[in-house]
A and B are shown apart, each in its own frame.
Chain A
Amino acid sequence: MTLQLSDVSKSFGATTVLEAVGFEVERGTRLAIVGASGSGKSTLLRIIAGFEEPTTGSVGLEGRRLADSTTNVGAHRRGIGYVAQDGALFPHLTVRGNIAFGLRRSPSREKRVHEVMELTSLDPELLERYPHQLSGGQQQRVALARALAPAPTVILLDEPFSALDTGLRAHTREAMVAALERSGVTTILVTHDQEEALSFGHQLAVISGGRLVQAGPPSEVFDAPLSAEVAEFLGAALFLPARTTGSGQAVCAFGELDVRHDLSNGGQAVRAMLRPSQLHVGGPTGEGDARVTAARQNGSTVELDLSLHDGFALTHRVPLYDGHRFPAGCAVSVRVDGGVVLYAAAATSDRAGTR
């Protein structure tokens, strides 16, 4: 076990930012913590780094107590690396100066600088450049190299890709994940980007309103979100009123569908959740399962307003070039692959947008 958090809470005055957060991170794994702005994820990271003290609870690393009610080991004594959102490279130092910053003066220092440069796929020609002479992606990789240089036990990444352009973001993320993979260091990433969180790590934790609401392997969390809120936060989701049949199936506007996970706590009237990727809209047919009430071209997709037979309405996108035309008023077939997740019934809209 590398890192342990137990019942960590944090308040600023009367405002509680974190409430009884606890989890464990295995050595060498990557954990992504995802949450909306203001959910407390950055505060959590700052507590682990040692920049903030927890109000209650404890933080431990490799069996060593870092913070609790009586202890608070300084950030500089924790052996935890930190990569800030903007990289936070020291502007008065070159790339070499930045990477060597946390290394003791010794003959092996230069060797280590070159090692982490290679690890993070940075061109040695950049060594004498100053931060303002680097691209955004290079800056973030230098920041990672700098954090990796002293060989920390854990690396913390605070939304390191959010300041980058969309194209650069994916490329930098891949390069950084590859570097972290090669280094084998335990890593925690906080982000508000669901895709980033789902693709980053071995583990995913969802934080909301200062509470850890779900944690587990990303596919498991995505597949069976413990609440409708988590389901919506992790990606587009379609909720339909449904009722259970008692034989592992649920009946909704799409007909009778298999139940993947039943989180409704019993009761017949429930809500069924499915992902838009599970829906397949076929070409116009005679009767069909739904009627197209409007169709709008939106780049390489067509956005269809569909009305199901029982009056349930939804918006769904289909590829522009899938061989079908969808004039308004036509009937279409709708197929649902995979099962649904059931939640307790709640007031829902009769119209939903899916992507």
Chain B
Amino acid sequence: MLFAAAALIPLGYVMLAAFDMGWAQFAELVFRPRVGELLTNTVLLVLLGVPFTVILGVGGAWLVERTDLPARRVFAVLLVVPLTIPAFVASYGWASAIPSIHGLGGGLLVATLAYYPLVYLPALATLRGLDPALEESARSLGMNGWRVFIRVVLPQLRLAMLGGGLVVALHLLAEYGAFAFLRFETFTTAIVVAYQATFAGPNAAALGVVLAGLCFVVLVIEAAARGRLRYARVGSGTPHPASRVALGRATPFVVAALVVLVGAAAAVPLTNVARWLFATDAADWQPLLGATWQTVLLSVAGALAAIVVALPIAWISARYPGRTARALEGTYYVASSLPAIIVALALVTFTLRVIPVMYQTVATVVAAYVLIFLPRALVSVRAGIAQIPENLEEVARSLGVSPLVAKGRVTMPLLVPSLAAGAALVALGAANELTATLLLAPTGTRTVATGFWAAASAIEYAAAAPYALTLVLLSVPAVVLMFAQVKARRSG
């Protein structure tokens, strides 16, 4: 309950901020051309960015999973590679390659290429788990490959598309670094600018309230679109691979399109990181070790704290499902859907007003990481607990072992892989976190992300390159882990 209350700090901040300033001041700060411009940019970004990522993600997943695309196993991996490149590093790659790239067009290009794997992965997982007999039945009813995709496959992908689309929308709303590079102003970039100018003043707070409102709108739209939609495989059937649609004459065009996509999403940023790496000198590499060490310490602390918080919630959710469990879990998911900038502003305000000694301390940064990345730990730990049969503990008790010892001797050893996976996902997310770290880290702290940002925003591209490389390398394990989980889903 204490953890649930802590999770409500960012939400509470948004409400208090709106309440504190009163309607008159809020209206004055919000109803002005500048905010209208930010709103237009942000809404356009989401309205265009989400469909683009859904088309690329679902299209890519269908091509590698349901067609006779040549080298589809290679493409299956290549299509997920952009996820290893943080959006702000990709943006740095593009901005350093084409300095004129900017605005909505640039923002859309970079964000779409950076985030389409967030739809691709769940779509791939769904396609792999889809009963091929459904498609075979549709074919036997006279439908061609394209109609089978539209009328049978696509409806089953709806949950994956909605889920992936929601994650992309929340990322678009929360992203700071990628758009700041491209001089494309959104609410998040404007809040950081306002914070830097006037600290946690009313302007930043008012923009924060609108941004949080946008997040809720996105959540409500997704929930309404999802409704009570559930798809489950009916009957066990015999698992067998799905038959593939022949691409025929379209093959070379499809292959070329995928090469262009992977090239733009992965090769452009990576080759530019490599290009700048060649321009580095020893001085550029010197601060990297210290930054990496601080990153490791902060992200490991964040991961451990997230696991400690996630464990009881996941336990209640998996073992005692009910309204309380759903409300508790829902609180975390809603709180975690708020952009990092809001979490950071909330923690700045909360620490200064309630516990000033905590302001700009490692503990506050760790708390921010927990609030931002908790769902990663929750999903992993809850799935792990759900997989452990409850009767193992009962049997242990029947053998004379107390309930607590039974948990320690039976459940915890079995849960270790899930705890490790959850901790790894949180640690790797925290290692790449920029916005909250910029606002909350103690003076003098330099993580890989903030080090990269300091160099890149000063247009010292060569100095930023070692950090960029490290950020990519830090992302690889998390992406491999996610991809492995998807691949583990058997067809059938």
Asked if B355 lies at the interface with its beta carbon under 8 angstroms from chain A, I say no
Asked if A335 lies at the interface with its beta carbon under 8 angstroms from chain B, I say no
C-alpha spacing A149/B413, complex, angstroms: 23
| B:400-457 near A, CB below 8 Å | 400-403, 406, 409-410, 413-414
Binds B, one of A75-83, A188-196, A235-243, A339-347: A75-83
- CB atoms of A101 and B398 under 8 A apart: no
Binds B, one of A88-96, A267-275, A284-292: A88-96
Asked if B140 lies at the interface with its beta carbon under 8 angstroms from chain A, I say no
Asked if A147 lies at the interface with its beta carbon under 8 angstroms from chain B, I say yes
C-alpha spacing A119/B398, complex, angstroms: 20
Asked if A51 lies at the interface with its beta carbon under 8 angstroms from chain B, I say yes
Q: Is the interface of B mostly helix, strand, loop or mixed?
A: helix
Smallest CB gap from B388: residue in A: A91
List chain B residues, Cβ under 8 A from A146.
395, 399
- CB atoms of A74 and B397 under 8 A apart: yes
Asked if A57 lies at the interface with its beta carbon under 8 angstroms from chain B, I say no
Asked if B248 lies at the interface with its beta carbon under 8 angstroms from chain A, I say no
Tell me how many residues of B have a C-beta within 8 Å of chain A.
18
C-alpha spacing A50/B392, complex, angstroms: 14
* Central interface residue in B398, B399, B403, by most chain A CB within 10 Å: B398
Known: A88-B389, A88-B392. A76 touches B400 (CB 8 A): yes
Smallest CB gap from B402: residue in A: A76
- CB atoms of B389 and A75 under 8 A apart: no
Asked if B396 lies at the interface with its beta carbon under 8 angstroms from chain A, I say yes
- CB atoms of A84 and B394 under 8 A apart: yes
What's the minimum C-beta distance from A95 to chain B, rounded to whole angstroms?
15
Asked if A86 lies at the interface with its beta carbon under 8 angstroms from chain B, I say yes
Partner among A74, A81, A86 whose Cβ is within 8 Å of the Cβ of B403 = A74
Partner among B391, B400, B402, B406 whose Cβ is within 8 Å of the Cβ of A84 = B391
List chain B residues, Cβ under 8 A from A50.
397-398
Smallest CB gap from A78: residue in B: B398
List chain B residues, Cβ under 8 A from A91.
414
Partner among A51, A86, A92, A101 whose Cβ is within 8 Å of the Cβ of B399 = A101
Known: A90-B410, A92-B413. A75 touches B392 (CB 8 A): no
What's the minimum C-beta distance from A277 to chain B, rounded to whole angstroms?
36
Known: A74-B403, A76-B403. A90 touches B392 (CB 8 A): yes
C-alpha spacing A147/B391, complex, angstroms: 14
Partner among A86, A143, A150 whose Cβ is within 8 Å of the Cβ of B400 = A150
List chain B residues, Cβ under 8 A from A156.
398
Asked if A176 lies at the interface with its beta carbon under 8 angstroms from chain B, I say no
* Central interface residue in B395, B397, B406, B410, by most chain A CB within 10 Å: B395
Partner among A75, A92, A150 whose Cβ is within 8 Å of the Cβ of B397 = A75
Asked if A102 lies at the interface with its beta carbon under 8 angstroms from chain B, I say yes
Asked if A49 lies at the interface with its beta carbon under 8 angstroms from chain B, I say yes
List chain A residues, Cβ under 8 A from B398.
49-50, 75-76, 78, 80-82, 147, 152, 156
| A:56-110 near B, CB below 8 Å | 74-82, 84, 86, 88, 90-92, 101-102
C-alpha spacing A91/B414, complex, angstroms: 8
Smallest CB gap from A92: residue in B: B413
What's the minimum C-beta distance from B200 to chain A, rounded to whole angstroms?
49
C-alpha spacing A49/B397, complex, angstroms: 9
What's the minimum C-beta distance from A41 to chain B, rounded to whole angstroms?
16
Known: A86-B389, A88-B389. A76 touches B397 (CB 8 A): yes
- CB atoms of B399 and A74 under 8 A apart: no
C-alpha spacing A143/B391, complex, angstroms: 13
- CB atoms of B391 and A88 under 8 A apart: yes
- CB atoms of A82 and B400 under 8 A apart: no
Smallest CB gap from B412: residue in A: A92
List chain B residues, Cβ under 8 A from A92.
413-414
- CB atoms of B394 and A51 under 8 A apart: yes
C-alpha spacing A51/B394, complex, angstroms: 7
- CB atoms of A102 and B403 under 8 A apart: no
- CB atoms of B402 and A74 under 8 A apart: yes
Smallest CB gap from B396: residue in A: A101
What's the minimum C-beta distance from B319 to chain A, rounded to whole angstroms?
14
- CB atoms of A81 and B399 under 8 A apart: yes
- CB atoms of A150 and B414 under 8 A apart: no
Contact code string A9-45 (vs B, CB < 8 Å = 1, else 0): 0000000000000000000000000000000000000
List chain B residues, Cβ under 8 A from A150.
399-400
Partner among B389, B395, B401 whose Cβ is within 8 Å of the Cβ of A82 = B395
Contact code string B321-340 (vs A, CB < 8 Å = 1, else 0): 00000000000000000000
* Central interface residue in A88, A91, A150, by most chain B CB within 10 Å: A88
Known: A102-B401, A146-B399, A150-B400. A75 touches B394 (CB 8 A): yes
18 contacts between A and B (CB under 8 A): A51-B394, A75-B398, A76-B399, A76-B402, A82-B398, A84-B394, A86-B389, A88-B394, A90-B392, A90-B396, A90-B410, A92-B414, A102-B396, A102-B400, A146-B399, A147-B398, A149-B399, A152-B398
In the A-B complex, the 9 residue pairs with the closest CB atoms: A102-B399, A82-B398, A75-B397, A76-B397, A88-B395, A88-B391, A84-B391, A92-B413, A102-B400
9 more contacts with CB within 8 A, not counting A82-B394, A88-B394, are: A76-B397, A76-B401, A78-B398, A82-B398, A88-B389, A101-B396, A101-B399, A150-B400, A152-B398
